[in-house]
Amino acid sequence: MAVDYIWVIGLHVAAVTVWMAGMFFAAILISALDPVTAAEEGPARILRAAGRWDRRVTSPAMGLAWLLGLTLVVIGGWGLEPWLVAKVAIVIALSALHGTLAAGLRRLIHPSGRPVPRLLRLSPLAIIAGAIAIVTLAVVKPY
């Protein structure tokens, strides 16, 4: 069982790393591009590639991270420990941010009149802060 647990942790960390990297890439693009610049051929090509990457890699990595994380909770027998509840709350917030970033990419790729929320310009910082908080909670288990 110990080997299985280690493998699940390793796969979970790998999935989370791919998810966070994909989110960070989308966040940087959204922060850097306005609708006029995004319509230019070079940035538009990058945005389309980022949208494909999000659908094919980042979103599935998020789903795998959730699945493996829940598996770790069951294997570890952690239940509703306070550090885990705090971690899950942050993961839910990052999942919601991922959905908002994916929508922001779609709005830049296919302008529909609805602008990308300006608050998303802060999303790279939110991703970094969330990742630091999650790693700290998972490793230190402070309460």
Enumerate the domain spans of the chain.
2-140
In this prediction, residue 38 carries a pLDDT of 87
In this prediction, residue 112 carries a pLDDT of 78
Tokens found for residue 11: 């796969």
32-41 long-range CB contacts below 8 Å, 24 or more apart? 33/108, 35/108, 35/111, 35/115, 35/116, 38/108, 38/109, 39/111
pTM over 0.85: yes
- Dump the DSSP string for 21-65: HHHHHHHHHHHH--HHHHTSHHHHHHHHHHHHHIIIIIHHHHHHH
In whole angstroms, give the CA distance from residue 125 to residue 105.
Answer: 18
In this prediction, residue 3 carries a pLDDT of 67
In this prediction, residue 71 carries a pLDDT of 94
Q: Which residues of the chain have pLDDT under 50?
A: none
